[in-house]
Amino acid sequence: MSAVSSLARRLGGKRWFASVGRALVPLDRLVGKLTRGRLVSLNMNDLTTLMLTTTGRKTGRARTQPLLYARDGDAFVVVGSNWGQAHHPAWSANLLANPDALVLLGGKEIPVRAVRVEGPERDRLWELMRSVWPAYSTYEQRAGRHIRVFRLERH
């Protein structure tokens, strides 16, 4: 693990870090689009990031969000932590309304179908995601809600 990633993991649960992270999302989104998912501003070798494009549940327009992910077999796992805010992120509500989405990763577009996981499967994937970003536990406590976990399965 790189020193920068290690430091980010240690600081990830701090409120100020989440505020900075939220502020950088538009930059991540822009860099991710320009590089076709090859790079985002906070991307570090061992903090894997993908670009997820959902269909807006109210507008019907494409909405793209950079997200940390973990692989689970051939699928991608993402969580709707929203940096520990009390409300769920819009992209997760979009997936509930229309589970067909697009992952942009390494210059490749991958059609996926989102499955919200619950029960023992959620517990397993939650632990997998906590290994990627330990601050997810802090985010869930701070948010005071059950954070949504999705498995993005390839079409």
- Cβ within 8 Å of residue 71, ≥6 positions away: 48, 77
Place 11 in a pLDDT band, splitting at 50, 70 and 90. Answer: low
Residue 145 has pLDDT above 70, yes or no: yes
Q: What does the pLDDT look like over 68-117, one tens digit per residue?
A: 999 999 999 999 999 888 999 999 999 999 999 999 998 899 999 999 99
Lowest mean pLDDT among 26-30, 139-143, 146-150: 26-30
What is the pTM (predicted TM-score) of this model? 0.79
Place 3 in a pLDDT band, splitting at 50, 70 and 90. Answer: low
Instruction: Give residue 140's identity as a one-letter amino acid code.
Output: E
CATH architecture type of domain 3-154 = Roll (2.30)
- Cβ within 8 Å of residue 151, ≥6 positions away: 72, 75, 76, 77, 114, 115, 117, 121, 125
Q: Could you tell me if 68 and 132 are in contact, meaning their C-beta atoms sit under 8 angstroms apart?
A: yes
